[in-house]
Amino acid sequence: MKVRFTKMHGNGNDFILIDEFSGIVVEEEKKSEFVNAVCNRYFGVGADGALFVQKSEVADARFRYFNADGSEAEMCGNGIRCFSRYVVEEGYAESPLRVETLAGILELEVSQDKDSWWVRVDMGEPKFGRDEIPAEEDVWGKVFEVEDRKFEVYAVNTGVPHAVIFVDDLDFDIIPYARRIRYHELFPEGINVNFAEVIDGSRIRIRTYERGVEDETLSCGTGSCAVAVVANRLGIAEKSVEIITKGGKLKIDVADRVFMTGGASRVADGHINTGELRYDLP
């Protein structure tokens, strides 16, 4: 069977998008294994995750996001920008639009200039409660000893749970440290891990290890929001912050709610030969 797909990315955080607005293309019980297979960078198309565009009874469209390992997540900041550009570009809705997600209904504005598409997302209110993250205890400035280093960890949910750690220098291998925190017993559902270096009050560099991808990604929208929120709450950054990821820059505005503005690129449209995918991969 051939399945039509679109390849998109937000600052290098890349996705396979499947259009199910007119009807289900990948059966519900097969979505996880399909995503795991198609996101494989050697035997599939390759991506950090997959987006499914569906009709909604309560908004303009329904957003479904699956990590590369096949697990479904509540939200993805870079993913929802790509999703929203696609929905507007295909004529399913006009900007501003409302999108149904597992994290609630979000409002977005999509615009285009001569060079790029831009999406501003109302990411909602950040959540700090241990039950909202979730965590076995409050994690706000809690010191984690990981191998040869100590880190002060701040946990927040900006659509999905994130741990934020401020460091003086980002030029080190974050993977072994991030994995230990991601799988720490304090986080029963796991957590995404962000290391951040404050350049000044309006600019922060970050690197993110994403749960479900189980690796560092070039950019993470919800992670960028989490870093901006925590930095602002600690008084080390302003309310409007430029977050610099490996894949590009995002503008985050922090108030009672968090707003993210960034690009969305559509790089390919084609067909997947599902019979050629490898479904026996870990």
How confident is the model over 172-211, as pLDDT tens digits? 999 999 999 999 999 999 999 999 999 999 999 999 999 9
Instruction: Considering the candidates 39, 76, 82, 225, report the single residue annotated as catalytic.
Output: 76
Is domain 140-255 given the CATH code 3.40.50.12160 in the classification? Answer: no
Residue 182 has φ and ψ, to the nearest 5°, of -55, -40
pLDDT at 266 over 80: yes
Establish whether 220 is a catalytic residue: yes
What is the per-residue pLDDT for 1?
A: 84
Establish whether 82 is a catalytic residue: no
Confidence of residue 114 (pLDDT cuts 50, 70, 90): confident
How confident is the model over 148-167, as pLDDT tens digits? 899 999 999 999 999 999 99
pTM over 0.85: yes
Cβ distance 262 to 11 under 8 Å? yes
Pairing, β 13-19 against β 2-10: antiparallel
Q: Which residues, listed in sequence order, are joined to residue 135 by a DSSP beta bridge?
A: none
Angle at 127 between CA 87 and CA 58, to 5 degrees: 35
Q: Which residues, listed in sequence order, are joined to residue 193 by a DSSP beta bridge?
A: 163, 209
Average pLDDT over the chain reads 96
Count of CB atoms situated within 10 Å of the CB of 281: 13
Cα four-point dihedral sign 254, 257, 258, 259: negative
Instruction: Considering the candidates 39, 82, 220, 225, report the single residue annotated as catalytic.
Output: 220
User: 130 burial class (0-12, 13-18, 19+ CB within 10 angstroms)?
Assistant: middle
Spell out the domain ranges in the chain.
2-120+264-276, 140-255
Binding site: residue ranges?
A: 13, 67, 77-78, 192, 210-211, 221-222
Query: Which CATH code is given to the segment(s) 2-120+264-276?
Result: 3.10.310.10
What is the per-residue pLDDT for 42?
A: 95
Diameter of the chain by CA atoms? 54
How confident is the model over 3-38, as pLDDT tens digits? 999 999 999 999 999 999 999 999 999 999 999 999
What is the per-residue pLDDT for 147?
A: 87
Fold match flag (2-120+264-276 vs 140-255): yes
Binding site for substrate: residue ranges?
A: 13, 67, 77-78, 192, 210-211, 221-222
